[in-house]
Structures are given as structure tokens and as C-alpha cells.
């Protein structure tokens, strides 16, 4: 098995070695599979390993590359996909007991695109049941148990892309895919010390992906660096006629460039009135990160998110759309098979929200979009702590919160200080965001800095994170795995 010196490398460095025929895709894939078999159960990281498929694709990649047919940076790179993406020939459980035997006879569009890029799927990542679609109150709300954080196994990875977070922090794959309806990429990315990106809404196809809330669901990469995220996004983005909400190619296609140089300085708005601002340890790390960026040409000034019912709007939209998405489960009563006490009955309560209220919330959302969009006349990106806290302990199911989770939209035991979280605001408005590591707490848990950009300006978000990571080495740190 290859060592951690290889398995924790970012995609560009793995690709460089594969392209130069100094690293075998077969050996790399076997190593990640063996390491996943050895350590995956310790972190409850996977639902399924797709060894047969992976080895077949790895051998094909090796043969092609040996013959001089190198495709691009993902050729021969092993990855894991959250278990809400359909993969032909394997279970797709959506992390939930009622669907533990579910399978599809086709691959999700993203899986097809990554196949075409030569990436190698090695497994289906564990997740919160239904990605929190019917609400949940703790890390245990998963078919495979609570995902344990490799930085401290008493802590959670955060959800709902909980397995993807564990996989990447433990060095079990070259990159992973998560989904983000309201924070489910940004939170596990931050708590696990990763670089993870939620692309603009409509940029990445969702055909073959479980729906929670059609107007809010996005798929994105969780990886070692922002550069990795850009590479993966470039392979996944682009119009998909089968996805109703997919943007046309003129808007959704994404050609990634790693360049950090720009004709003018990056204008960064340091958000001071978002949740998390009350945590001095996190604030200090973010301010130190921005200081470094300022020293390398960025212009930093304070930004204030306009007031508005962002969290309420996001949560209500998710509740109402999820009630539609999971209506069969609610109507049949099979929601009682879910693990979480909240998920068992939340759908019944959500049925009482009126169509008028749904429309009103969606009309308010348009206002909120406009107000937030105006901020980007002055800033290229907004910056804030990735989350309001560092990783928190795994706890048993919490008393009823009366919503999708104590901390907001279905995110288990996150803190209640979510009234105006930057990732909630950007999720609601469909804006691109990335979180990258920028330090550690006194308890040696990762801290992240989050950059949010204007709709479809995913390149600026990546440029900001690339600028930071080109002058720091936080992204090279990983936990001791034994």
C-alpha cells in the first residue's frame, strides 16, 4: 500500500505523477481501497466500496495512459461519491433504512462525466439519512451510524456529507463529492480541515441525484485544495438537459484556471455581522488569513450582510420542498423507519404549511437575492469563518427542535447561533462558496475560512482560496490515522 506521503497529495500532484508514469492508477486505486477497508469502519465513512468497478476502471486508465492517451488531470484519480448519487450495479441507500436495498440501473450524470474524465469511483460515502431532508437532530441519523471526525473520533464530521468529510480527512480517496442544500458541503469541509466547494446553483447537473429541495440542491467537490476543487468542478459543470434546473452551457460550463494573478487586486469583504462572529478564536484565525492575503495584493474591507430572514426562508423552503420530494415516504408511513426521532414525524408537521406561505417565502427570497447581490458591486468575494464553531462532539438525538435540526436546516448538533450564517445566506441565494483550512483551535481542531462570490462567479471564489493557499500550508496538515 502506498504511504500517506502519496495518499494525501492534492490532485494536481497525483496527476503529474500519473501523467509522467511515475504513479500507477492501479496501485493508487488499490491503496485507497485497502486503506478505506482498513480505516473506513473506524470513521463510519462509507456505505459501500465499489472495488470491482474501481479496479476495472483503474486497469483501463493505466492501459490508456501507457498507450499515450492521457485524458486530463482526473485520469486515474480515485474518488468517493456521497451515497445519494445513483451508480449502476451498486446500492444507493440515500443513507436511510427505507432505501437500504435501493438501486438504479443508470449512473448519475456526474458519475458519467467523471467516468469520461477518467476518474475512478472507489466507493459510496456515508451520509445523514435523506441528507437531512426530513430533518434530523444528531449525528446518529444515518444508516451507517455517526461519521467520526478523524481529527478527534469523539467529534462529528458535520452533515449531511458526513462520510465524504471523514473519507478526505482520513486520506481514503483523492477527492470526494458532497451535496449542499443548506451548508452540507461547507460544514463538513470546515470541521474536517478540507477544501470544499459549493458551486453556483444550476452549474452542476443533478440527474440521478436524490432531491431534497429542488430549488436549493447543489453538488460539489470536497478535496485537499481549492485547486483540486477547480479541477473537479471543471469536469462536472455544464448543462444537463435532463436536469430541469440546469443552466445553459453559456452559463454553466466552467473552464478552470489555476492562475492567481489578476489585473486588479481581489476585493474581499470581511463580513462582520454573520453568525460565528462571536467566536474570538475563529475570528482571529480568519483575520490572520486575510492579513496574509492583504500582504499579497488583496484589498480587505468590512462588509455587512443586509438584514433579512435568510435562515427562516431557507429552512421553510427546504421543509416544504422536501415534503414534496419525500411524499411517498410520508404518505406510506415509512418515515417511521428513519433513525432520527425528528425525521420520523417532521413531514407530518410540514404538511401543515400552506401553499400561500411557500409562495410568499419564495417571493421574499427574490428580494434577499437582490440585496445580497448588491454587495458584490463592491466586493469580489465575501469572507467569514467557515462555520460558527469548530467540530462538536457526537451526541445522542437531541430533544425536538421543531425544525430540521437544533442548529438550523437539518444539521444535527450544530450550535443554535445560525440566525445569519454566511453559508446559509449563500445557499439560499444559490451563490458559490468555498471553505479552506486556516488554522486550528486550542483543542487542535481545524478552523476554516469561507469565501462566497456572486452568482456564477465561481472563478473568483477559487481565485481567492488559491491566493490564500499559495502562501500558506494549512491545507497540507492532516490528522494522525492509526
Partner 1 sequence: MHRSANPDSKSRFTRREFGRGAVAAVAAAALAPASAISQRGDASAPASPQQGPDVSDLSPAARAEIDAKVENAIRRWGDRMNDEQKTRIRTIITRHVRMLETVRKFAVKNGDSPASVLKLFTTTGRPQPSAMPHAKIPPASGAN
Min separation Cβ 291 and partner 1, Å: 29
Q: Is the separation of the CB atoms in 414 and 158 below 8 Å?
A: yes
Taking the complex as a whole, how short is the minimal distance between the CB of residue 459 and partner 1, in angstroms? 13
Number of H helices and number of E strands within the chain?
16, 13
What does the radius of gyration of the chain's CA atoms come to, in whole angstroms? 20
Choice between 195 and 200, CB closer to partner 1: 200
Which secondary structure element, helix H or strand E, spans residue 54, and what is its range?
Answer: helix 51-66
* Cβ contact 121:113 at 8 Å: no
φ, ψ of residue 54 to 5 degrees: the values are -65, -45
Nearest residue to 326 via CA among 245, 243, 244, 214: 214
CB nearer to partner 1: give 357 or 443.
357
Query: Nearest approach, Cβ of 458 to partner 1 (angstroms)?
Result: 11
Residues labelled as active-site residues: 82, 160, 184
Distance of alpha carbon 265 from alpha carbon 130, whole angstroms? 42
Answer whether 190's CB lies under 8 Å from 446's CB: yes
Residue 64's CB: how many other CB atoms inside 10 A?
16
Distance CA 116, CA 238 (A): 14
Which is closer to partner 1, CB of 33 or CB of 325?
Answer: 325
Q: Smallest gap, in angstroms, from Cβ of residue 163 to partner 1?
A: 18
Q: What gap in Å lies between CA 237 and CA 229, rounded to an integer?
A: 12
**What kind and span of H or E run contains 346?**
helix 341-350
For partner 1, the closer CB: 94 or 468: 94
In the complex, the smallest distance separating the C-beta of residue 342 from partner 1, rounded to whole angstroms, is 8
The nearer residue to partner 1, 9 or 108, going by C-beta atoms, is: 108
Whether 115 and 107 have beta carbons less than 8 Å apart is answered as: yes
Q: How far is the CB of 139 from partner 1 (least distance, A)?
A: 16
214 or 440: whose CB is closer to partner 1? 214
Contact 139, 162 (CB under 8 A): yes
Grid look-up 451535496 returns 179
Under 8 Å between Cβ of 229 and 258: no
Amino acid at each position: 500500500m502506498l504511504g500517506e506521503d502519496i495518499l494525501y497529495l492534492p490532485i494536481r500532484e497525483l496527476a503529474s505523477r500519473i501523467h509522467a508514469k511515475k504513479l500507477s492508477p492501479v496501485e493508487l486505486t488499490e491503496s485507497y481501497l485497502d486503506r478505506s477497508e482498513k480505516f473506513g469502519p473506524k470513521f463510519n465513512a462509507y456505505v459501500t466500496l465499489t472495488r470491482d468497478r474501481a479496479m476495472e476502471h483503474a486497469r483501463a486508465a493505466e492501459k490508456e495512459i501507457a498507450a499515450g492517451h492521457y485524458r486530463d488531470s482526473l485520469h486515474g484519480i480515485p474518488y468517493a461519491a456521497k451515497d445519494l448519487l445513483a451508480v449502476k450495479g451498486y446500492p444507493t441507500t440515500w443513507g436511510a433504512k427505507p432505501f437500504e436495498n435501493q438501486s438504479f440501473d443508470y449512473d448519475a450524470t456526474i458519475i458519467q462525466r467523471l467516468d469520461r474524465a477518467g476518474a475512478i469511483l472507489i466507493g459510496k460515502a456515508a451520509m445523514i439519512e435523506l441528507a437531512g431532508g426530513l430533518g434530523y437532530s444528531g449525528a446518529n441519523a444515518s444508516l451507517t451510524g455517526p461519521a467520526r471526525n478523524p481529527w478527534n473520533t469523539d467529534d462529528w464530521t458535520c452533515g449531511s456529507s458526513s462520510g465524504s468529510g471523514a473519507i478526505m480527512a482520513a486520506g481514503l480517496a483523492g477527492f470526494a463529492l458532497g451535496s449542499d442544500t443548506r451548508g452540507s458541503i461547507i460544514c463538513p469541509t470546515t470541521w474536517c480541515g478540507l477544501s470544499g466547494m459549493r458551486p453556483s446553483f444550476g452549474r452542476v447537473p443533478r440527474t440521478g441525484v436524490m432531491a431534497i429541495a429542488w430549488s436549493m440542491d447543489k453538488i460539489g467537490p470536497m478535496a485537499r485544495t481549492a485547486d483540486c476543487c477547480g479541477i473537479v468542478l471543471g469536469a462536472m459543470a455544464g448543462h444537463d438537459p435532463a436536469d430541469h434546473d440546469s443552466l445553459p452551457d453559456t452559463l454553466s460550463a466552467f473552464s478552470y484556471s489555476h492562475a492567481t494573478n489578476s489585473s486588479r487586486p481581489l476585493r474581499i469583504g470581511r463580513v462582520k455581522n454573520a453568525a460565528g462572529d462571536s467566536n474570538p478564536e475563529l475570528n482571529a484565525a480568519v483575520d490572520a488569513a486575510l492579513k496574509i492575503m492583504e500582504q499579497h495584493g488583496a484589498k480587505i474591507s468590512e462588509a455587512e450582510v443586509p438584514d433579512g430572514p435568510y435562515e427562516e426562508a431557507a429552512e421553510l423552503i427546504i421543509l416544504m420542498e422536501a415534503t414534496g420530494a419525500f411524499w411517498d415516504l410520508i404518505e406510506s408511513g415509512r418515515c417511521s423507519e428513519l433513525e432520527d426521532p425528528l425525521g420520523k414525524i417532521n413531514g407530518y408537521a410540514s404538511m401543515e404549511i400552506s401553499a400561500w406561505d411557500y409562495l410568499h417565502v419564495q417571493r421574499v427570497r427574490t428580494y434577499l437575492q437582490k440585496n445580497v447581490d448588491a454587495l458584490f458591486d463592491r466586493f469580489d468575494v465575501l469572507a467569514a469563518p467557515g462555520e460558527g464553531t469548530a467540530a462538536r462532539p457526537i451526541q445522542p438525538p437531541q430533544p425536538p427542535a421543531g425544525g430540521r435540526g437544533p442548529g438550523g436546516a437539518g444539521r444535527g448538533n450544530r450550535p443554535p447561533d445560525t440566525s445569519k450564517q454566511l453559508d446559509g445566506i449563500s445557499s439560499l441565494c444559490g451563490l458559490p462558496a468555498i471553505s479552506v483550512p486556516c488554522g486550528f483551535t486550542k483543542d487542535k481542531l481545524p478552523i476554516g475560512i469561507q469565501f462566497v462570490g456572486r452568482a456564477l462567479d465561481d472563478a473568483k471564489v477559487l481565485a481567492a482560496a488559491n491566493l490564500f493557499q499559495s502562501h500558506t500550508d494549512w491545507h497540507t496538515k492532516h490528522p494522525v490515522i492509526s
